[in-house]
Chain A
Amino acid sequence: MKWDWNAVGDFMPAFWHGLLVTLQVLALGSLVSFTLGLVWTLLVRTPLRWVRWPVGVVTEFVRNTPLLVQLFFLFYVLPEWGLTFSALATGVFAVGLHYSTYTMQVYRAGIEAVPAGQWEAATALNLPRRRTWTAVILPQAIRRVVPALGNYVIAMLKDTPILMLITVPEMLQRARLFSQQHFQFTEPITVIGVAFVLISYLASLLLRALERRLVR
């Protein structure tokens, strides 16, 4: 096996572009999954059965089908019904939606872990329902689940290469295109491998710091 530093140099411009796309997907995907996840959790807690059930069915369905199948569905099937989004937008939405069905469970655990006394106190103070949620329950619940949410960010990072299959030019796609053109595989694949380790590690450091600040 030969290692060619020139190939690394040649790959770098493409690599930076790929890194940018990967981070973009990760940031936007996290945002979508955190938001949607919270929406799902709150919806399945409503007393209205005709809201609770459909949301439960949909999220169960999404969680129990492979991300790749969802990705292909959104990218290849939706356009047939006249709904076309860019590859990047499709990718962000697919990752965000898929992971929102996991984060909803994280939020649920957080909400259920808020002591019953807090609910009772809110009732005793005659707080409106809305204030109970926004000022009492959610702040405590979300604090508790930040580490668990962080784990999903890292899992999401490791799932971003799947987007290559719908032509999103993230890191792995860039490495592959470079390899096919220059017939050098070792260098670009190694570079992105190292990049994934570094990003995951930095993200976990960041999360630990955040955890120390939030969970006391």
Chain B
Amino acid sequence: MLGGLAALGALGAAGCTRVAAASGKAGGDLLDRLRAQGVVRLGIAGEVPFGYIDKDGRLTGEAPELAKVIFKRLGVGRVQPVPTEFGSLIPGLNSQQFDVVAAGMYVNPERCQQVIFADPDYQMLDSFIVRKGNPLGLHSYRDVVAKKAKFATGTGYAEIQYAVEAGYKEGDILIVPDQVAGLNAVEAGRVDVFAGTALTTREVVRKSAKAEATRPFAPLVKGTPHVDGGAFAFRPAETSLRDAFNGELRKLKKSGELFRILRPFGFTKAEMTGLTAKELCGG
């Protein structure tokens, strides 16, 4: 009876948000529903090597491969990709277009206000795409500001914040749809530098004759070097799914299986992490 009342209250409080987003059970019943459907929808951003569709049309990448393993253990047999732009991942998750963000998304305080994160499955440094030979000598966000370089990054990327923090004017940042467009902008000379994760930039310049990736570095946040962690994101109401996911993730970390799943995508031991979502969400 009390539970029923509480559910009613929760619905009332949620106002006109959709019913599925605010299901009665505390912690959400998404996992039960996913088990019944036998399929979970993963939001991906088409970013190699985090989550993408490969040449044969198969869903792969660090996050989807990990999701396949973990969700199988949670009793959900199939995963289904929903490709979108990186910047649309969080809005898409919250508007029910998919159940989980499986794009290796960095955990940061702004995003923590919108979604809840599992613990990071990797940690990562940043890197720049620059023209061959790095003519302007750009190795950090400070250099970009000091050399007055033309700076680009992707929609909704955490790198926007790092550049702004280093003193770059936000309105001057060129926002491109993804890392391939970023590479193109550098090659065509529209910008001097495109910022992304060390892995993405390394992968995307592989076939380029005109551009290269700089040595990975830690961006400064509030004056101290900051190591990012990428994780799965869930809707704020679905804490029980998140906790179950975290449980399986912890087991994979302990057994070393996580590294075996991530290694084919270019991850090294240096990217394995003990960071928690809580630390990265910060204040």
Residue positions of A touching B, CB distance < 8 A: 1, 14, 17, 76, 79, 84, 86-87, 165, 167, 169, 173, 176-177, 179-181, 183, 185
Known pairs A79-B187, A87-B190; A183 contacts B88 (CB<8 A): no
In contact, A183 and B114 (Cβ under 8 angstroms): yes
Residues of A within 8 A of B12 (CB): none
Known pairs A1-B16, A165-B177; A84 contacts B114 (CB<8 A): no
Closest Cβ neighbor of B180 among chain A residues: A76
Residue positions of B touching A, CB distance < 8 A: 16, 87-88, 90-91, 94, 110, 113-114, 155-156, 160, 171, 174-177, 181, 184-185, 187-190
In contact, B188 and A179 (Cβ under 8 angstroms): no
In contact, B91 and A180 (Cβ under 8 angstroms): yes
Complex Cα–Cα for A177 and B16 (A): 25
Q: How far is the CB of B280 from chain A (nearest CB, A)?
A: 18
Complex Cα–Cα for A167 and B155 (A): 10
Residues of B within 8 A of A165 (CB): 177
In contact, B91 and A84 (Cβ under 8 angstroms): no
Closest Cβ neighbor of A13 among chain B residues: B171
Partner of B190, one of A17, A86, A183: A86
5 closest cross-chain pairs (CB), A and B? A79-B188, A180-B87, A180-B156, A84-B188, A183-B114
In contact, B190 and A84 (Cβ under 8 angstroms): yes
Residues of B within 8 A of A176 (CB): 87, 155
| A165, A179, A180 pick with most chain B CB within 10 angstroms | A180
Residues of B within 8 A of A17 (CB): 171
Partner of B175, one of A76, A167, A185: A167
Residues of B within 8 A of A185 (CB): 91
Residues of B within 8 A of A84 (CB): 188-190
A-B pairs with beta carbons under 8 Å apart, 19 shown? A1-B16, A14-B171, A79-B187, A79-B189, A84-B189, A87-B190, A167-B177, A167-B185, A169-B175, A176-B155, A177-B87, A177-B175, A180-B88, A180-B90, A180-B155, A181-B110, A183-B91, A183-B94, A183-B113
Complex Cα–Cα for A181 and B87 (A): 8
Partner of B174, one of A167, A180, A181, A183: A167
Q: How far is the CB of A13 from chain B (nearest CB, A)?
A: 9
Residues of A within 8 A of B91 (CB): 179-180, 183, 185
Q: How far is the CB of B113 from chain A (nearest CB, A)?
A: 8
Residues of A within 8 A of B110 (CB): 181
Complex Cα–Cα for A17 and B169 (A): 14
Contacts A76-B184, A79-B187 aside, 16 further interface pairs with beta carbons under 8 A come to A17-B171, A79-B184, A79-B188, A84-B189, A87-B190, A167-B176, A167-B177, A173-B175, A176-B87, A177-B87, A179-B91, A180-B91, A180-B155, A181-B110, A181-B160, A183-B114
Residues of A within 8 A of B189 (CB): 79, 84
Q: How far is the CB of A10 from chain B (nearest CB, A)?
A: 13
In contact, B156 and A181 (Cβ under 8 angstroms): yes
Q: How far is the CB of A166 from chain B (nearest CB, A)?
A: 9
Q: How far is the CB of B57 from chain A (nearest CB, A)?
A: 22
Complex Cα–Cα for A91 and B94 (A): 33
Closest Cβ neighbor of B88 among chain A residues: A180
Q: How far is the CB of A199 from chain B (nearest CB, A)?
A: 22
